[in-house]
Structure formats: structure tokens, C-alpha cells
Amino acid sequence: MMDVGRHPNIKLLTCSQVESISGYVGNFHVRVHKKARYVVESECTACNDCVEVCPVIIPDEYQQGLSSRKAIYIPFPQAVPSAYLIDMNNCLGTNPIACGKCAEKCDKKCIDYDMKDEIIEFDVGTVIVATGMDVFDPTPLDEYGYGTYENVITSMEFERLLSAGGPSDGHFIRPTDRRKPKTVGFIQCVGSRCEQRGQPYCSNICCMNTIKDTLLLKDHYPDIEAKVFYIDMRAFGKGFEDLFKRSKEAGVQYIRGIPGEIIEDSKTRNLKILVEDTTANKMEEHEFEMMVLSVGVTPRLDMPEVQKLLTLSKTPDGFFMEAHPKLKPVDAPTSGVFFAGCAEAPKDVKDSVTQASAAAARAETLLAAGKVKLEAITSELNADLCRFCTICAQACPYKAITVDPKKKTISYIEALCKGCGTCGAECRFSAIKMKHFTDEQIVSQIDTYLEEDSYDKVIIFACNWCSYAGADTCGGARLQYPPSSRLIRTMCSGRVDEKFVLHAFRKGAPMVVVSGCHYVDCHYIDANRWTQKRVEKLWDKLERLGIRPERLLLEWISAAEGRRFAQTMQDIEELRKKVTKEEIEHTIKILTEEEEKERQKQEKLKK
């Protein structure tokens, strides 16, 4: 922390929040709101004189509320920056007449009740999101009585109680009678691995944290009896199994089973539990003088604010989504933005440090080069054809397009475009051209494929990242499938315009398949949701026109799913065989008439 505070290349802004970020990779403009500290940071010597005279006493957050602080305070003795601040929500008033004791006492005169919030602006080339995590609050789980039974504490409170700088100066005491407990029980997975109560995922750090806690406890107080109740003990990292073994050797008992309830003895304030030991297959009763809930990790509550600043996405667990879970685990889908630490997923200190160094290296790749090549496959706007309907702006996952329908203006930042082509597929006025995947290019492929013997060919639109790659994987594994498929590559399934599908049917295709990445894996954040919507609309339209909607399929196939691709092709072949030449002819007739009607309508509109 001190290294950061004194580094000449780091400008540290505490009590600060990013208010807005504009621009794009290499060229972000940042506005930061720095809240007033009411103590001049550079002048304060942390002498503590002000604290002694402050009359306000409130719970200390840093100590998990286990002790108190004043309204003027320093979060903890080693804090960086080493300067006090006034908590204005609790100060008796900015008006010195109301109190003003601290300002009076301060020799350096560095307390300024009139200090104003500041807006600081600067430019950067890259952004690292290291916003961290929240700790699960077990209060809603009334079976454990946290908040009611004082001797039930969380693992975070345990940390403070055992810390030399903690509220009890490192002496482990139980809250009700402030004496050392003889027995301590730990309950694992509190708020983790549970769909209904807490989070469905494993929080990654709690098993090792408890093992560490039991070792600390046994080191300090070998006579304390400690038992851990768990579902699985996950000691998977380097050196972790050793610690687990040491803990067991130190006499800590590990019992596989999670207690259903904690009951307090109102006289002794001891805690009783009933648990099924699933290794011994028997019900057991235990009594402890103190219990620790090993609480899990949750996404930060304020994540949506950061998410909006940088157009990020979240995975279903609520943490930030990476550009690719295997190959780009540090990059955000937005160029020039990287993740470090628990913002991306729960991590321990070592993993956070590892990812932070990786994020720094990824950022440095851009910074060292000093220049960045922009995507050449982007969309191109023809403002003359635009009717300001805003659909493109809604569809763009990167907010590269802004439309003001009242002022009839449209603006487009090409550097933000990643080239999914969803805007082009949604635009009904041909105002957007998708470079390298233009309407003409795609239609020419459809036409060529269906020129001869169209009835035994299936047109498959496949997105570059998942389903086209899945077809390649299938080839690599030499998985055989019927030779009726004809693939057309697009960057994203979001590019597949309604008119491409209808064109293929009009040219005699018995079956058309739109395929893309699985819903949450879209390489363009959520562009494939537009694919889904569009295909659903098309199904309705086909039905209305008297064309069997079953002839249009929507398939999600990942890059790894070669087998699924082959199976899908097999299944489609069966469906294709059921489409008769008469049915195809009928479809061609319907759609040719429909095209003519549409053409006449367009002509009228032009007039």
C-alpha cells in the first residue's frame, strides 16, 4: 500500500468515484468525482489530536462494528493515504459553532469544513477494472441466528477478533462475556452453493480461509477445540493440501454435514446444533461457545454503475464477463478494458495478484505499442437513407451509434464498432452497410449455392466464433455428416438479416439454419439476443405466409461442440428429406409474390 502511495507515476484518488468514461480504446476521457475529505491530505500528520476531542462515537466499519470510532478518523493505523477525514454524515455539523472542536485542536490547521468535492478529468489509453467483491451477509438466514445470537459471528468478524490491530488487540474473545471460548464451530458454504439461500456458485476462498482460521486459532490457543462442518473441503491450490493436513494434525475435526439450525442456550449463551455426519451416517449433537459462519463472496452491489460506464456484461453468477473464458480471461469485451481480481470472479489474494499482473501486461501491450489497429470489419452508415428509427442504436452492443429521433441526427463512432453486423441486419432502410459481409456478398453466396439442385441443399448461416468454429472442430475430429449442408460465415449470428433467410427460401432452399454462440457466450456481448428475436419473428411470418416454420431452425453450437454440430446436421437431413419438391415450388411462388408486393410498396414510399 505504501509503495502505491509514494510511487511518482501513480496518482492516487481516494474517496473518489468514476463519474463518466467516454471515448474508445487508446483514447478514453475520464471524469472522476472526488469527495471532500475535510482534512487537507498533504498537511495532516496523523497526530490523532483531533480524534481525542471529537465527541461523536459510532461503530467502526473497519472493525466490522466490533468497536467504535469518532466522526473524524483514519480507517486503520497503516492507512494510505495517511490522513484523517471527517465523516460528514455523523459530524455534529460543518458549522463550527455546532462543535468545531477538532479544528480548534488541530495545530497544523488542516481541517477545512468548507472543503468542496472536486471533479478531476484526464485521458487514458486503457482501463483496468478491479472493483472487487462484497461479502455475503448472513442476516437473512434466520436458521443460523446471525444478528440475534451474539456468539455467532462471520468469518470477517473472526479476522478482526484475531488481528493484533483488532478490537480486542488480537485476543480471541466471545462477544457475550469477553472471555476466551473453549469450543469453536465453523459452518462452511454460508451463502455459497445454494440456489435459494445465497449464491449457486462455490465462492472459491472460504474452505482455505477456514483452514487458515483454524490454524491461527490452534497456533494461539492449542487448547481450544475446533470443529468444521462442510459439504466438500476444496483445498485445490499449491500448498493448500498441506495446510489442510496441518489443520487436521493440529486436532481440528472436520465433519461432513451442514447443520440445519443453530439454537442458543439462553443461560450459557452457548450454541447447539444438530447435524447429520454424512461420512459416519449418523445424527450428532454438538455444543459450542462460539460459532463462525464461513461466508461467501458476492458481486458488488455497485457493479451496475461500473458496468454502464464501460458497456460491460455480466455472467449469470453476477460477476463481469470476460472476452473469452479460456483464451481471453483478462480482457473485457470492450477493447482496452481489462479485469483484475474479484470483479471477474471470486479469487484469493494470490489469484488476484496473478490476474492483476496479467491485466497490467495486457494493458501494457497497448501502451507500449503506442498505437492500436482498429477493426477493419465495421459497419458503414449512410445518413441520407436513415429514417432515425433508433433500432440500430438499440441493437448495437457497444453503443457505437446514437440516434436522436427528434432532432433527426445520427452519430456513429467507428472505433467502438466491433463488426457484429446486428445494426445492418436490423436496419429496414438499407442505411447500414456491413463491411466485408455486405448484403450483396452474402446474397451472392446464397444464389450460387442454390443455383442447381436447390432441393438437396441446406443453407446454414454460421457465426465465426462459435458455430462456424464448431463445424471446423467437427471436421478436425473427422465426424461424418450428410453432404447437404452449405455454410455461409458471418462474424455474428446477429448479422443474419431476415431478408437473407427469405431469399434462401425464395431460391428454393428446403431448410435454412441460423446458428450462433450459446446465449451467454456471444462474442458481441448480447448481439445474439437480436438473432433470437429476429428468428422468432420470422417463424411467425413464415406461418402467416403458409410456409412451415419448422423449415427454419435456430441452433446454438459452441466452438468446442463438434459432435453437436455433426448431430445437428444429421437431424436436419432427416427434416430436409421431408420437404417435397412441391412444397419448395409453392414456397418459391409465395415468396416471389411477396417480394413483388414489397417492391411495389417501396416504390410507392419513394414517390
Give the nearest distance from C-beta 72 to other proteins in angstroms.
12
Q: Which grid cell sits at 261?
A: 439450525
Give the nearest distance from C-beta 381 to other proteins in angstroms.
16
Is 469 among the residues that bind other proteins (CB under 8 A)? yes
Touching other proteins, residues 105-124 (CB under 8 A):
122-124
State which amino acid sits at residue 181: P
- CB-nearer residue toward other proteins: 23 or 549: 23
Is 566 among the residues that bind other proteins (CB under 8 A)? yes
- CB-nearer residue toward other proteins: 270 or 311: 311
Give the nearest distance from C-beta 14 to other proteins in angstroms.
5
Is 27 among the residues that bind other proteins (CB under 8 A)? yes
Q: How far is CA 329 from CA 56, 323, 332, 340, 518, in A?
A: 47, 7, 8, 10, 18
Host H or E run for residue 356: helix 349-369
Is 42 among the residues that bind other proteins (CB under 8 A)? no
Which of 510, 534, 519, 506 is CA-nearest to residue 466? 519
Give the nearest distance from C-beta 301 to other proteins in angstroms.
12
Question: How far is residue 369's CA from residue 361's CA, in Å, rounded to a whole number?
Answer: 12
Give the nearest distance from C-beta 518 to other proteins in angstroms.
18
Touching other proteins, residues 355-374 (CB under 8 A):
355-357, 359-361, 363-364, 366-374
547 CB neighbour count, 10 Å cutoff: 21
Give the nearest distance from C-beta 58 to other proteins in angstroms.
15
57 CB burial (10 A radius; 0-12, 13-18, 19+): exposed
- CB-nearer residue toward other proteins: 129 or 538: 129
| Window 178-217: contact mask with other proteins (x via CB under 8 A) | ------------------------------xx-xx--xx-
- CB-nearer residue toward other proteins: 263 or 374: 374
Is 36 among the residues that bind other proteins (CB under 8 A)? no
498-506 and 439-450 helices, crossing angle to 10°: 20
Touching other proteins, residues 444-463 (CB under 8 A):
444-445, 447-449, 451, 457
Is 25 among the residues that bind other proteins (CB under 8 A)? yes
First to last CA, the chain: 70
Is 89 among the residues that bind other proteins (CB under 8 A)? no
- CB-nearer residue toward other proteins: 272 or 324: 324
| # binding residues, other proteins (CB under 8 A) | 133
3-state class (DSSP) for residue 46: coil
Give the nearest distance from C-beta 214 to other proteins in angstroms.
11
Give the nearest distance from C-beta 480 to other proteins in angstroms.
6
Give the nearest distance from C-beta 286 to other proteins in angstroms.
25
- CB-nearer residue toward other proteins: 225 or 456: 456
Give the phi and the psi of residue 135 in degrees, each rounded to 5.
-100, 135
Choose which of 105, 314, 324, 486 interacts with other proteins (CB under 8 A): 486
Touching other proteins, residues 58-87 (CB under 8 A):
62, 64, 74-76, 78-81, 85
Host H or E run for residue 469: helix 467-476
Looking at residue 375, what DSSP letter applies?
Answer: P
Touching other proteins, residues 375-414 (CB under 8 A):
375-377, 414
Is 584 among the residues that bind other proteins (CB under 8 A)? no
Give the nearest distance from C-beta 270 to other proteins in angstroms.
25
Q: How far is CA 146 from CA 152, 270, 363, 446, in A?
A: 6, 14, 43, 64
Question: How far is residue 277's CA from residue 255's CA, in Å, rounded to a whole number?
Answer: 6
Give the nearest distance from C-beta 105 to other proteins in angstroms.
20
Give the nearest distance from C-beta 184 to other proteins in angstroms.
15
Touching other proteins, residues 245-284 (CB under 8 A):
none
Q: Which grid cell sits at 566?
A: 455433426
Strand partners, 229: 187, 255
| Window 278-307: contact mask with other proteins (x via CB under 8 A) | ------------------------x---x-
Question: How far is residue 209's CA from residue 211's CA, in Å, rounded to a whole number?
Answer: 5
- CB-nearer residue toward other proteins: 227 or 362: 362
Choose which of 50, 72, 111, 126 interacts with other proteins (CB under 8 A): 126
| Window 1-20: contact mask with other proteins (x via CB under 8 A) | x-xxx-xxxxxxxxxxxx--
- CB-nearer residue toward other proteins: 184 or 403: 184
Looking at residue 170, what DSSP letter applies?
Answer: T
Looking at residue 384, what DSSP letter applies?
Answer: T
Question: How far is residue 186's CA from residue 606's CA, in Å, rounded to a whole number?
Answer: 75
Touching other proteins, residues 493-552 (CB under 8 A):
none
Host H or E run for residue 460: strand 458-463
Question: How far is residue 228's CA from residue 248's CA, in Å, rounded to a whole number?
Answer: 10
Q: How far is CA 77 from CA 56, 73, 532, in A?
A: 19, 10, 55
| CA–CA–CA angle 308, 496, 381 (5° rounding) | 65
Looking at residue 487, what DSSP letter applies?
Answer: E
